[in-house]
Structure 1
Amino acid sequence: MWRLSMPMSSLLSMRPLRYAMLSLSVLAFAPSAVAAPPAKSLKPRALAAKPTGRELAGDAYVERIVVKFHEGSRVRLRDQQLVALSSDRDAAERSLLAGRGLGDARLEADLGHVTSLLERAPRIGAMARLFDEAESTLEARKASGERQSGEQLADLNLYFEVPLMPGTTSERVADLVAALNGLDGVEVAYAEPPPEPAMVNFGMDAAVRSLLAAADLPPVTPLYESNQGYLNAAPGGIDAKYAWTVLGGQGQNVKVVDIEGGWRTTHEDMPDLFHMGGTQYTDQSWRDHGTAVLGEIVGARNAYGVTGIAHQAKAGYESIGAQSTASAITRAATAAGLGGIVLIELHARGPSDGTACSCNTSQCDYIAMEYWQANYDAIKTATANGVIVVEAAGNGSADLDAPAYGSAFNRNTRDSGAIFVGGSTATTRLPMCWTNFGTRVDVHGWGERVYSMGYGNVFGASYGEDQFYTSSFSGTSSASPIVVGAAASAQGVALANGRRLTSTQMRSLLRANGTPQPANTRQIGPLPDLAKVLPKVIAGDY
């Protein structure tokens, strides 16, 4: 699939500062007040590895500096100043801080150093909280997640950001990041690159491009369901058509929220959306991408266009146009609620793992979003609270087991609970040449030749964007919605049978009940098979 046509510097300049009011909403399963810590001790949260500041290539664009203070410090932003609310610390927080050897004097001094260092950044705005949701909401979610999971979760209120000037490179702020990480009171600081949709650049025909702005009265749209091979039975597809015959198998009562940059909400095959959060980008490449993603999952089942795998699910979106990916994750989790599904349709440029890119070289080294600590902590909090998270593994030809990533993708030491998705060919199920791979990649979907809504290369180019359809959506972007559709189908069946699957249960279920990938040194996992999955769900055998 084609790539964003605008240069990265233009894309960066589109990202406005965030001035939106903080949301006061909470997850349906979160308490209205912060509950007391659970009686039993929690599994400790592992500390994030402090970056050197030079993990990314020097010419990599970065859009913000993220700083997180140590657990227990109770650092908050008050009147645009960092303060440590020492009188508000509970016993557990005092213990955590003491365990780090951090006294109030040292912490106060470090807050001053952080403020001074960030003032030197090439920034375009003031320091702000990284997560938009209200402090009380994040505290409630942390408490409820810890009760349910038995694990200590991050205090997301300890994350702060400074937005950087468009065009800022990693090299320009590397020394600043290193200095921030040299402070005892800082748990982790890093420069974060801008996310992009995880689609592959195959170019757009010039004739099609010239027609994109055309609009006319719509003619009858063909029905493309027979072209959606991923709906078919194994080994080629996930057998969605079988799932539609099972009670709940069309995704009934399941909420799905897509995280990316834009959608064509008025498309003729788009169902009514239950949640429309964040600020969308105006760029059509983002809009076509989001439309194609939702088409695979919830495209309306009718006499025309495409049919979504879980077309009875309730769909929504959370846009990153005016907020960080991490903030979008928490907001999407709030909207999806207990048992709902959040899809992260993004990847970003990470460290080089040394793997050569033989194709899709413009996205070489692009990796999954949870590599960056705030995204990981947001995902971990979501899955601990019963939300299923599906994450595109990325299109960077990267071996996620490589030493370049430390333990970031080692499930034995750092498991967010998310389901990672790789991309395969449509016919052989072999890994696409650009897909990321490794033991962290759980399952795969079609990474090419996916029929869906958007783009207009098979229909609609002459009739207007509301009738755009494509035959060539690609990347881990096209693979991940296939897995989300399978997960929504399985969750719908579980709900119909009085059960509800967690993210880790869903991950195990899909991994254990699929069509294996052909023998290959690059692991991308099996293609889910709903004919195998759903009987296990009905029997409670997972």
Structure 2
Amino acid sequence: MSARSVQLGGVMRGLSMALALGVAAPAVAGARELEPRVLPKKGVAASQRRDVQVSRVVIKFHEGTHVRLRGSSLSVDVAERSEQERSKLSALRLDDARLSSDLEIVHKAVSRESRAGRLARLFTADERTLTANKATAELRGGREMADLNLYMEVPLAEGTTASDMAKLVAELDALPSVETAYAEPLAEPAAVSLPQLVTSVLGAVDLAPTTPQFQGEQGYLQAAPLGVDALYAWTVAGGNGSGVKIVDVEGAWRTTHEDLPTFFHTGGTQFADIGWRNHGTAVVGEMVGVQNGYGVTGIAHGAQIGHEAIGAQSVASAITNAANAVGAGGVVLIELHRLGPANSTPCTCNTPQCDYIAMEYWQAEYDAISLASINGVTVVEAAGNGSSNLDDAAYGGVFNRNTRDSGAILVGASSSAGRVPMCWTNYGSRVDVHAWGEVVTSTGYGDRFNPGDENQYYTSVFSGTSSASPIVTASVASIQGALKANGRYPLSPLAIRDLLVSTGTAQAADAKQIGPRPDLRRALGKLNLRPALAPVSLQSAHND
């Protein structure tokens, strides 16, 4: 077979996949240039709060430099550089001598910092995997994507603040070969007013009482406008999410909980903390709680569930690993938020989380999400609980779709019954949809049921964009599962985002835009996916 035949064969396979996923057709090599990537602004770190605790300094080198970490040293693989890349570097007035000088400065600057650890790759995935992901995304999307291998990190000692790193970050960010450098704040679960933890002896023998049936308390399963109408979705073949993979990105989970299925993927290192563990357990219960006649029933209880923990890796790395685990047609949920820059939006409630915002504000997370989205993975992201207007000028337009769009579904939070934005939810034009941000019944915590064993903890007060985002994630899995069961291709991330918005139940009239609440009956109907089963009631669904 000729080289041209091989090339055209690859293009046609890419075209078939693009059509299946509803993404842009790939560009034939040489036919047109890729749409340029939007570069982050220099000096963004200057707007960061000085007292915020930071866990690492992130460094991203310019595309085309081919900077790589070999052992403990940064080096450049010149042989990998294309003519287009050489041209771009020339436009930036970057030659190999300048690049070599910059790398030496990076090493010296980091070595002078007493709070800094050794340079490391920010993303833990294999270099070849990241390179392949980039190539596939550019073929599908027709636009330049970030080379995640160009991201490095400098781990920092516990208790380090942005002020401590200001000089180092400024020095690194000023280097011509560095695209961006910033100190990364600690990530936290996007939950509000967590229930008081109940003391228990972990690892104790199960007391084996009969667990009550809580499905009747899961109002978010009900028909619109109260819920997303999961009960209807279950009457459609595949509407329980069967055949779809979901991976949750956060800190910890009780994977042995009686009402959770076996996890197909268990990536990363978990935090040994019951607060993180209860949070992850509650999130997963909303999505895949087993339909077994007791406890709760997840919206997408037929889906496969996995986790990617952030205990020993960056959030951006965890997102990429999660996306690789679910593959095209799968769903990644980001259950985290961080303290962002000060802004002009008043914060009158949930004050401990004022100004916490969505993860894609930070460039590494944005690039990881963008790559996953273009490659057919739907990313659902908590908007955060910071009472902030994401259209505020403080964010430099990064939440403006006309400036950049990661492709993720950003989720706000509303009151359970009224669809009124919660006083603490983030909002704005970038927030796509909303779901219950209060009184969510799920697994974990033990405030609703606690016989003394963490494997039987249940809650009825889970809240935050953390409780809203799993509802949306499971709704995505429900739709993709129904498509798959009916012999159809999954929707692209942008297509399913548009579907949820166009078929959802409008939020209550309010100046805070949080988008509609998903309505699975209308969404499935728009796709001409009809019931294959008799309708079920809220009380009887668990017995079917």
TM-score (norm 1): 0.90
3-state SS of paired residue (2:45) = coil
- Deviating above 3 A after TM superposition, structure 1's stretches of 4 or more consecutive aligned residues are 35-39, 210-216
Q: Does 1:339 align with 2:324?
A: no
Q: Which residue among 523, 526, 530 is the counterpart of 2:520?
A: 530
- Residue 470 of structure 1 aligns with an amino acid whose one-letter code is T
Residues of 2 paired with 1:496 and 1:397: CA distance? Answer: 40
For the 8 Å contact 2:198–2:447, the answer to whether it is kept is no
Kindly indicate whether residue 175 of structure 2 is the aligned counterpart of residue 186 of structure 1.
Answer: no
In the TM superposition, what is the alpha-carbon distance from 1:320 to its structure 2 partner?
0.4
Are 1:65 and 2:67 matched, yes or no? no
Q: Summarize the Cα distance change of 1:189–1:456 in structure 2 as closer, same or farther, 3 Å threshold.
A: same
Q: How does 1:38-437 map to 2 (within 5 A)?
A: 39-202=31-194, 204=196, 209-211=198-200, 216-437=206-427
> Is the deviation greater in 87-96 or in 403-412?
87-96
Following TM superposition, by how much is the alpha carbon of 1:233 offset from its aligned partner in structure 2, in angstroms? 0.3
Measured in 2, the distance between the counterparts of 1:526 and 1:437 equals 12
Judging changes above 3 Å, is the alpha-carbon distance between structure 1 residues 442 and 171 closer, same or farther for their aligned structure 2 residues? same
**2:477 equivalent to 1:488:** yes
Q: Alignment partner of 1:245: what SS?
A: coil
The CA distance in 1 between the partners of 2:355 and 2:43, in whole Å, is 17
- Supply the distance in 1 between the matched residues of 2:44 and 2:295 (Cα, whole angstroms): 50
The answer to whether the 8 Å contact 1:392/1:420 transfers is yes
Q: Give 1:514-529 correspondences, 5 Å limit.
A: 514-529=504-519
1:456 alignment partner in structure 2 = 446
List gaps (5 residues or longer) in structure 1: 1-28
User: 1-side partners of 2:47 and 2:288: how far apart?
Assistant: 39
Preserved contact between residue 52 and residue 177 of structure 1 (Cα < 8 Å): no
Provide the aligned C-alpha RMSD in A.
1.7
Letter matched to residue 148 of structure 2:
L
Structure 2 CA distance for aligned equivalents of residues 157 and 39 of structure 1: 27
Q: For the residues of structure 1 that align with 2:468 and 2:121, how far apart are their CA atoms?
A: 33
CA shift in 2, pair 1:62/1:37, >3 Å = farther
State how far apart, in whole Å, the 2-side matches of 1:428 and 1:287 are: 30
Q: Given the superposition, is the C-alpha separation of residues 426 and 385 from structure 1 closer, same or farther in structure 2, using an over 3 Å criterion?
A: same
Kept after mapping to 2: 8 A contact 1:353/1:402: yes
Amino acid at match of 2:72: Q
Using the TM superposition, give the Cα deviation of residue 539 of structure 1 relative to its aligned residue in structure 2, in angstroms.
6.6
Shift of 1:180: 1.3
Residue 201 of structure 1 and its aligned partner are, at CA, apart by 2.4
Query: CA deviation digits over 1:231-253, x for unaligned, max 9?
Result: 00011100000000001100011
Shift of 1:134: 1.0
For 1:79, give the aligned amino acid: G
Give the letter for the 1:532 counterpart: R
Identical pairs, percent: 57
Shift, 1:211, TM fit: 4.4
Conservation of the 8 A alpha-carbon contact between 1:451 and 1:470: yes
CA distance in 2, matches of 1:265, 1:184: 46
Conservation of the 8 A alpha-carbon contact between 1:53 and 1:175: no
Amino acid at match of 1:64: R
The one-letter code of the counterpart of 1:265 is T
Query: Matches of 2:201 and 2:440 in 1, distance apart?
Result: 20
State whether residues 251 and 277 of structure 2, in contact with CA within 8 Å, keep that contact through their aligned partners in structure 1: yes
Per the alignment, residue 435 of structure 2 pairs with 445
Structure 1's 38 and 145: CA in aligned 2 closer, same or farther, altered over 3 A?
Answer: farther
Letter in 2 for 1:184: P
CA deviation digits over 1:213-270, x for unaligned, max 9?
5764120001101100000001110000000000110001100000001010110000
1:46 maps to a residue whose letter is V
CA change 1:122–1:372 in 2 (3 A) is farther
For residue 317 of structure 1, give the secondary structure of its aligned residue in structure 2.
strand
Letter in 2 for 1:400: L
CA deviation digits over 1:509-533, x for unaligned, max 9? 0011111001111100000001110
Query: In the alignment, is the contact (CA less than 8 A) between 1:54 and 1:170 conserved in 2?
Result: no
Query: After superposition, what is the alpha-carbon deviation per residue over 1:478-501, rounded to whole angstroms, capped at 9, x for unaligned?
Result: 000000011000111122231211
Letter of the 2:419 counterpart: R
Please name the residue that 1:6 is paired with: none
SS in 1 for 2:193: coil
Could you say if the C-alpha distance between residues 137 and 365 of structure 1 is closer, same or farther in structure 2, counting changes exceeding 3 Å? same
Paired with 1:249 and 1:259, the residues of 2 have a C-alpha distance of: 23
Which blocks of at least 5 consecutive residues in structure 2 are unaligned? 1-16, 19-26, 531-544
- The letter for the 2-side match of 1:75 is V
The Cα offsets for residues 350-395 of structure 1, whole Å up to 9 and x where unpaired, read as 1011222111111111111111101100100101111000000000
Question: Following TM superposition, by how much is the alpha carbon of 1:52 offset from its aligned partner in structure 2, in angstroms?
Answer: 4.4
Contact 1:513 1:533 in 2 (8 A): yes
Aligned partners of 2:221, 2:430: CA distance in 1, in Å? 25
Q: Distance in 2 between matches of 1:156 and 1:472?
A: 39
Distance of 1:96 and 1:286 partners within structure 2? 44
How many residues end up aligned between the 2 structures? 504
Please state whether the residue corresponding to 2:347 is helix, strand or coil. Answer: coil
* AA partner of residue 392 (structure 1): A
